[in-house]
Amino acid sequence: MVLASHLPMLLEIHCRLGASAQRLAEFSEFYNDCNHVPPLPAEVASITRADWQEALGVRARESDYRRFFSGETERLGGLGAIRCYLPQLACGIGASALHALMRLAYGVLRNDDAEIATALGYWAATWLPLRDEPSGPPDTDEPLALAAAMQSIPAFRQVEVETDLLWHWMRAVGGKDEFAPLIGRLRIGSDVLDRVTRASLAIYASTLTFEGLHALTGSYWVRLISPHVDDPCRLARYFWQAILAVYPKIGMPTPLSGAELDAMRSCALPPAAEIATAAIASNDEHHPSLVFTAFQEHARTGDPLYLVLAAKRLELIA
C-alpha cells in the first residue's frame, strides 16, 4: 500500500479559507507526523513521448512519469500538457481513488505548472481504467438512474476486495461483467457535468459518507479542469463511472427524495465564517476539503444545501 500525500492541496485550501501562517505550520507538522507518506520510488527508466502509455498504472514508475511530465509542462505549459495528455488519462480517472484528479485540480486552481506536472505523473502511475463496454445506445439522462439499476444486481452485493481502500473497490467493481455496460447507458451532452454534480450532491446529502464526500468534492475538481480539455464531457462521464464503482461499498442506498433534500435545505445555518473557522481548526483532512468545495459550489449555484452539508460535516448543526 502506498499512500497519497494530500498536504499540498490541503495547505492551499487552508490558505483560501483564511488560515494563519501558524496554523499552516501546525497542520503541516501534524499531517506529516500522522501519515508518514513514503518517499518516491527510485527512477527506473526514461519515459518518452513515443512510449509514455506503456507503463500506465505502474506505481513503481511514478518518478519516471513525474520527470516526463515535468519536461512536457516546460515544453507545452501546464495547461497545454493537460490538453495534450488528459484525453488518454481520462478513462483512468479513478487513479488513487480520485486523488490524482484532486491534485491536478488544485494545480489548475493555483496556476502552478510544477504541481500540474506532479499531478499528471501521479495520475499516469496510478491510472485505473474501469470496464466500459456499452451494450446498446444510451437510454437515460439521469446519473442516479445508473446507481438505482445497480441495486437489483446480485454481483454488486457480493464484491470481494483485498482491502477497504476506495481504489480497491473501484477496481473490483469496475472489473465485473455486470459493470461493463453501465456507464454506456448515460446520455452525454453539454450539461452532463451539471447532471453529475447534482447527483453527487444528492448522494452525499443522503449518506454523509466518506464515499459520498468524494463524489461531491470530485465533481468540483472535474469542473476546475474541464475548461482545459477539448472534450470535458468525457471527463465527467468517466468521473461518474468511478463514483458508481464505489457505490456498492456504502450498500447502494436509495438517495433522499427531492422533498427530503428540500427540507434539508431549510436548516438554520451558522455564519459562513464560523464554518470556515471550524474547518481550519480541524485536523481531519477531509473537513476543509468539503467546506472549501461547498463554499465554491454554493457561490456558483446559490444552493444552500452545500452550506448545510458543510455545517453538518463539522457537527455545527444536527
| 66-87 per-position pLDDT tens digit | 999 999 999 999 999 999 999 9
Instruction: Give the model's pLDDT for residue 66.
Output: 97
> Averaged over 15-44, what is the pLDDT?
91
> Do 50 and 95 reside in the same domain of the chain?
yes
> Do 220 and 188 reside in the same domain of the chain?
yes
Report the share of the chain in percent with pLDDT over 90.
Answer: 94
> Do 225 and 157 reside in the same domain of the chain?
yes
> Do 178 and 238 reside in the same domain of the chain?
yes
> Do 87 and 11 reside in the same domain of the chain?
no
> Do 150 and 239 reside in the same domain of the chain?
yes
- Cell readout for 86 is 488528459
> Do 240 and 187 reside in the same domain of the chain?
yes
Structural domain includes residue 134: no
What CA–CA distance (Å, rounded) separates 198 from 74? 37
> Averaged over 220-247, what is the pLDDT?
98
What CA–CA distance (Å, rounded) separates 193 from 199? 10
Expressed as residue numbers, the domain containing 161 is: 143-250
pTM of the model: 0.96
CA distances from 257 to 3, 199, 202, 269, 294 (A): 37, 12, 9, 21, 21
CA distances from 122 to 39, 96, 135, 211, 243 (A): 13, 8, 32, 21, 20
Structural domain includes residue 132: no
> Do 246 and 212 reside in the same domain of the chain?
yes
Instruction: Give the model's pLDDT for residue 73.
Output: 98
> Averaged over 15-22, what is the pLDDT?
97
> Do 168 and 113 reside in the same domain of the chain?
no
> Averaged over 267-295, what is the pLDDT?
97
What CA–CA distance (Å, rounded) separates 36 from 316? 31
Structural domain includes residue 102: yes
> Do 103 and 172 reside in the same domain of the chain?
no
Structural domain includes residue 10: yes
How high does pLDDT run on average in the chain? Answer: 96
Helix, strand, coil share (%) of the chain residues, nearest 5: 65, 0, 35
CA distances from 162 to 126, 170, 172 (A): 17, 12, 9
Count of domains for the chain: 3
Count of Cβ atoms closer than 10 Å to residue 3 Cβ: 12
The DSSP symbol for 132 reads: -
> Do 64 and 108 reside in the same domain of the chain?
yes
- The tally of CA atoms less than 13 A away on the side-chain side of residue 167 is 20
Structural domain includes residue 131: no
CA distances from 305 to 150, 201, 223 (A): 26, 8, 18
> Averaged over 302-314, what is the pLDDT?
98
> Averaged over 302-315, what is the pLDDT?
98
Choose one of 94, 126, 158: the last residue of a domain: 126
Instruction: Give the model's pLDDT for residue 35.
Output: 81
Structural contact between residues 212 and 168, judged by C-beta atoms closer than 8 angstroms: no
Structural domain includes residue 14: yes
- The tally of CA atoms less than 13 A away on the side-chain side of residue 4 is 25
CA distances from 212 to 10, 72, 173 (A): 19, 34, 17
Instruction: Give the model's pLDDT for residue 4.
Output: 62
* Per-position DSSP letters for 138-195, written without gaps between them: --BS-HHHHHHHHTT-GGGGS---SSS-HHHHHHHHHTSTTTTTTGGGB---TTHHHH
Q: Single out the residue of 312, 305, 309, 296 nearest to residue 17, CA to CA.
A: 296
Structural domain includes residue 270: yes
Structural domain includes residue 30: yes
Choose one of 126, 157, 188: the last residue of a domain: 126
Does residue 59 carry a pLDDT above 50?
yes
Instruction: Give the model's pLDDT for residue 41.
Output: 86
